Chains A and B, each alone.
Chain A
Amino acid sequence: MDRIKKEMKVDYSPPISRRKFLSASGLAGLGLMLKFSPLKAATALDRPYRRFEDVMRNKFTWDRVARGTHGTNCAGNCAFNVFVKDGIVWREEQQGEYESTDDTPDYGPRGCQKGLRHAKYMYGNQRVLYPMKRVGKRGEGKWERVSWEQALTEIADKFIDVVERDGPESISWGSGTQMSVKIASYAALARLVNITGVTVPEFYSGVGDLPTGVYTTLGKVYVGDTMSAIYKSKCVLVWMSNPAVTRIPDAHFFWEAKYNGTKVISISPEFTPTAMHSSLWVNPKPGTDAALAMAMVHTIINENLVNEPYIKEQSDLPFLVRTDTKRFLRKEDTSIVSTLAVEDNIFYLWDKKTNQAVIAPGTGLTDPPPGRDRRKFDTIDLGDIDPALEGKWTVSTLDGDVEVTTVFELLKEEAENFTPEKASEITGVSPEVIRQIARDFAQAQPAMIYAGYAACKWIHGDLLQRSFVLLLSLTGNIGPEGSGLQISNSPKVRGLMAFAFNGIGPATRMVSATNWDYEQGNMKELTKNVYGEELAEEWDAKYQESIKEDWFPQYGKKGWKMGFFAGNNGANWRASGNKWRKDAFETLESIVAIVPDMGVTSHYADYVLPVAHHYERADIMLQARTPYVQILDAAVPPLGESKDDFTIVHDFTKMLSKRAKERRMKVFHDNVDGKNVRRDFKRAFDIFTMDGKVKDVKDVIQFIINTTPGIPKMSFEELAAIGKVRVEGSDKTYYDKDAPYHSEIMESVNEKRPYETLTSRQQFYIDHEWFIEYGEQLPTHKEPLSIDGYPLRMMMGHARHGIHSMWRDDPLMLTLQRGKPDIYVNPDDAKARGVKDGDNLRIFNSGGEFFAMAHFSAGIQPGMTFMYHGWDPMMFKDQQNFSAVISTSGLIKPTSMAGDYGHLGYRVLAYAPNQTYKDFTCDFEKADDV
């Protein structure tokens, strides 16, 4: 049978080429087309066929089992075996075979229903298989298939046109989380944007995930550990997070910990699948979480549950503050010499032993030059100093005698605004419940806060995060295994950066997508229309001042002309109703979408380039939640004419150089953040490939393996054979400095090294003039913004049946839901509006409207609605999803653009305005059925 099959290899190519007319008449002519020997066809049959079941009797076998995962940003990084037969992926299976850390449960098996569905989804009708060019009006939906040659030629020409006319900064190359988790793909893109100088609106703050409050307090945003740390904890506050839905492969750690005696307390306004399994569910009103946190702070302080030795050493709580100016007492306050020396970062403690102000150890460090770690050169060890936490004293300054007190004293005053009783009025949570969870948390040792990125998506989310860190610090819960704020960690990406900058140095324009949208979409206008002129003018004045002071860069001054969207579905979810789409996106001269599946971004593009899906490409994945490097190995070639990201970037760069040569494009000089960069597109391809050394994505992967500390050194082939390998520095449930993930905070705690904050401590008091002006020197609670006349707050969260918009349209997944976008509503709110379960709803506010099915749930508080996100606008009436009512894109909080203050000032992927999505209200009514 095998022999015969081999001989019968079918050459599908017809006998003559396309477009060549066949002069044929009758059967004789048509006979040219018959490609099989009838005799062979007949002899291939080794047993009779009588009914269709006969073909199903043989065991289904595989030609190959590849190692892979899904290069999507769910943080799962789940090792899968991918089963291939006849060039088709038929199924996948969890690889399992994970180890554990210490005495915690192991990490495997890992996977979820999305991953186990991908073998079908990748062949779905939503796939983009060929380069497409728009032939109708933008958004009209008329396309033609074009060749890669044509597409890349035309795109490269437009690229050069814009660069020659407006400069490279007028072109954006947005990269989303789909790209960023695939390290080799991202490295290739990073190298391209570094060579060309186009603007990269970064997505971390752009999707509202940037924990600026964490950065403000700790000088780092990456503070998370492995998921197994949960098992080490004795009390876990699962706050604004729903891991039973969003962390399916890791949720078991919570429940195993619970059965091991850990108290798992879920804090969310809606009753979630996580709350269902928790020890306790606490449901504050939406947006009041910081009041709850501050009330817990109040209880911890008033019931003497504070870990004093810890905060004296690790935090700024014992630092002295002038009561007259509300500013820290600095050395420059004390002598003219220090003033001239600008010793504005040397701070004081009140030493109880000597009863005098003394310089706080470890302060006074200057900002490090790039690549230098200042923490290696000093210590925060108090030595013989015993800092006072409470009290008021008088010190001599250049202004005369002034009264000073401690940050801790000021914190006590602030906490008095949030007694459990007062907080109860704000949050709706009983004072006794507040006290009890505060006691449980403080007495557990260790305790942690497992927070979702929802904590970053409020305009005052920074205050909430600062409250989180404060709770942890007061109880000594940053450092020990099983403690800490579990919100984010990331690879150190040294290998990635080494690849991006190799031979050319850094010359990249990276800007917060929030800033970019604010300027390119005129979002001040949106704020003015929705929240009023006063707020719009006030906050815009701060924005402009920050730019003027050079605290933050301003890119795209000549406007936004051309946009590339790769690794994201950029038009899916924007917090500006239709404004971003209408005023920025759709007005671009050229839009190029590089996507595996169709979605709304592609819908408006001029060119859609097909990118390979998860099982059709090679790459390397690092996700900090598990201590493993995971490989993506191509199980099958890319479907249709799709290509992996590296190849697309590679081929585009090649075309760019070709067209630059043919058009005799001149070398130009480009100023990036004051650095003069010579750009020669004619050489772009040679630079990109390192003069031909980098030929395909496996070369990039190998480069990253070789240059990234913490990844065991081996070849791509060796790694592909096993699928995953444990990273170095992962003996504990948190990472140490040998790991490829961030561990700086642990080093500060355990080795007493200065933090990378102005005060070199966990810094809870920010005496920047803008923070003082807005009363945000300390963690506190501020009411979220609302839209007058609209009573309902819409909450959102990641969905069980999709990762962002990926898999959200899968037909099987839809059968597990209601088959179309639905919005959870409180039954009483619904009845008051004459709405029944399943009705079509119009959800609206002054920003816009969208339609979705009413989904009754008693788990939703009155006065709120809840919608799982990721539904692409294409799935809604009028192609308008929930973005229609989200009006927060112009809300750039002034303090998020503060600068000239130690660690505060523009730091890409660390300190920048965060796009927020929560500070609005809406209403709903029954709509006509659709």
Chain B
Amino acid sequence: MIDSPNVKSNSKLLARSAVYALFSNLVNSPHEDHVLFEDIGSVLSAIKKDLPFRINFDALMKETKTATEKEWKKIARSYSGLFEVGNDGPPIPIRESANPVLSFNKEEVTRYYEYFGYEVSDERQWESDHLAIELEFIHFLCQGELVSEDALSFQLAQKDFIDRHFILWLASINHKIKDLDAHPYWIEIFSALYIFLQQDLKWLIAQTTNLKEAI
């Protein structure tokens, strides 16, 4: 549980942080550790009230209701077919550097982690630019921002990282996933994530501009 005294006074940040934590888990491989929410709808409903911008998670909330134990095998197989296995490799690279046009971004990702003291567990270091791990890094930055006296550093880092590492990549994923025979569960998750990232970036740009001016 969050025990910082700032938490209650920064519900927007906490909500944003929670969304990143949620999506970090949702885009992780079903073959790895993966959390399923019994009622994502109620979670998202609770979160979105505190987000600093309006966002519609209805489609996602509807689709995630299908993520039952019974349906899970299909969902997991669909994930593998999209992100883990395929004729030329998986159709959609879920590691940022596995995208040919983004292959040189890996060093920067690692430098961000190092700069802010974020470490990846040994067994996943090879895929430290996995989307789930990069999303968790934003979640990590949000947590830092919660208690840091230098909130601007954390906000600027969120803004830059999202802008430089997510926007182009997620646009590509969303474009591709709709052309593939993907389970709707994944289509809605990635669609919602992309919309959220765009909104969050817009908000962060405004926030950091204000903060910069205030300094």
Contacts and interface: CB of A to CB of B under 8 A. Distances in A.
Interface of A: 1, 4-5, 8-34, 36-42, 44-45, 48-52, 54-56, 58, 60, 85-88, 90, 120, 123-130, 132, 135, 141-145, 598, 602-603, 608, 636-637, 639-640, 809, 811, 874
Among A5, A18, A135, A602, the most chain B Cβ lie within 10 Å of the Cβ of A18
A913 B186 CA distance: 53
B156 interface: yes
A22 B38 contact: yes
Contact of A56 (B17, B34, B108, B145): B108
Contacts of B125: 86-88, 636
A45 B15 CA distance: 23
B118 interface: yes
Given A86-B120, A125-B88, A132-B85, A38 B143 contact: yes
Nearest to B77: A144
Chain B contact residues: helix, strand, loop or mixed: helix
A637 B126 contact: yes
Q: Is the interface of A mostly helix, strand, loop or mixed?
A: loop
Given A25-B39, A41-B147, A88-B125, A603 B25 contact: no
A604 to B, nearest CB: 10
Interface string B1-32: 11010110000001101100110010000111
A30 B156 contact: no
Contacts of B25: 14, 33
Contacts of B85: 128, 130, 132, 143-145, 608
Given A30-B43, A85-B110, A143-B81, A9 B153 contact: no
A369 B141 CA distance: 74
Given A21-B37, A125-B99, A130-B31, A45 B144 contact: yes
B81 A598 contact: no
B97 A60 contact: no
B210 interface: no
B98 interface: yes
Contacts of A18: 30, 32-36
**5 tightest A-B CB contacts, nearest first:** A44-B117, A87-B125, A41-B144, A42-B148, A26-B46
A452 B122 CA distance: 45
B106 to A, nearest CB: 7
Interface string B74-103: 000100110011111110010101111001
Contacts of A874: 87-88
Interface string B144-161: 111111101110110010
B167 interface: no
B107 interface: yes
Contacts of A1: 117
Nearest to A121: B103
Contacts of B143: 34, 36-38, 41
A24 B38 contact: yes
Contacts of B47: 26-27, 30
Interface of B: 1-2, 4, 6-7, 14-15, 17-18, 21-22, 25, 30-39, 42-43, 46-47, 50, 69, 72, 77, 80-81, 84-90, 93, 95, 97-100, 103, 106-108, 110-122, 124-128, 133, 136, 139-141, 143-150, 152-154, 156-157, 160, 164
A598 B80 CA distance: 15
A21 B93 CA distance: 27
A123 B97 contact: yes
B115 A21 contact: no
Given A12-B136, A22-B38, A33-B35, A41 B117 contact: yes
B84 A145 contact: yes
5 contacts: A12-B33, A14-B33, A34-B139, A37-B143, A52-B108
Contacts of A132: 85
Given A11-B121, A25-B43, A45-B144, A125 B98 contact: yes
A141 B37 CA distance: 32
Contacts of B127: 639-640
A27 B147 contact: no
B114 A58 contact: yes
B77 to A, nearest CB: 5
B15 to A, nearest CB: 7
Given A30-B43, A49-B115, A125 B90 contact: yes
A619 B202 CA distance: 52
Contacts of B106: 88, 123
A38 B128 contact: no
A60 to B, nearest CB: 7
Interface centre among B80, B113, B136 (most CB of A within 10 A): B80
B32 to A, nearest CB: 7
B121 A55 contact: no
B21 A34 contact: yes
B95 A30 contact: no
A17 B50 CA distance: 28
Contacts of B153: 45, 48-50
A22 B36 contact: yes
A25 B84 contact: no
A4 B117 contact: yes
A557 B124 CA distance: 48
A42 B81 CA distance: 39
Contacts of B14: 27
Contact of A38 (B30, B33, B146): B146
Nearest to B24: A33
Given A34-B17, A58-B114, A130-B84, A26 B43 contact: yes
A38 B2 contact: yes
A824 B115 CA distance: 50
Looking at B43, B69, B145, the one whose CB has the most chain A CB atoms below 10 A away is B43
Contacts of B80: 130, 143-145
B2 A31 contact: yes
Contacts of B164: 52
A123 B81 contact: no
B6 to A, nearest CB: 8
Nearest to B126: A639
Given A10-B140, A26-B47, A125-B99, 16 more contacts: A16-B35, A21-B36, A21-B38, A22-B38, A30-B47, A34-B18, A45-B117, A45-B150, A87-B126, A120-B97, A126-B88, A130-B84, A143-B81, A144-B85, A145-B31, A598-B88
A55 B108 contact: yes
Contact of A44 (B6, B97, B126, B144): B144
Contacts of A637: 126
Nearest to B6: A38
B79 to A, nearest CB: 8
A45 B116 contact: yes
A124 B129 CA distance: 12
A809 B103 CA distance: 14
A135 B127 CA distance: 26
Given A143-B81, A598-B88, A31 B1 contact: yes
Contacts of B31: 130, 145
A670 to B, nearest CB: 36
Contacts of B114: 55, 58, 86
Contacts of B89: 124-128, 598
Nearest to A872: B88
Given A27-B47, A125-B99, A9 B119 contact: yes
A367 to B, nearest CB: 50
A38 B144 CA distance: 5
B148 A86 contact: no
Contacts of A48: 150, 152-153
A603 B87 CA distance: 6
A129 B33 contact: no
A135 B122 CA distance: 32
A37 B89 CA distance: 37
Given A44-B144, A54-B115, A55-B112, A22 B34 contact: no
A83 to B, nearest CB: 12
B103 A12 contact: no
B110 A86 contact: yes
A51 B98 contact: no
B2 A125 contact: no
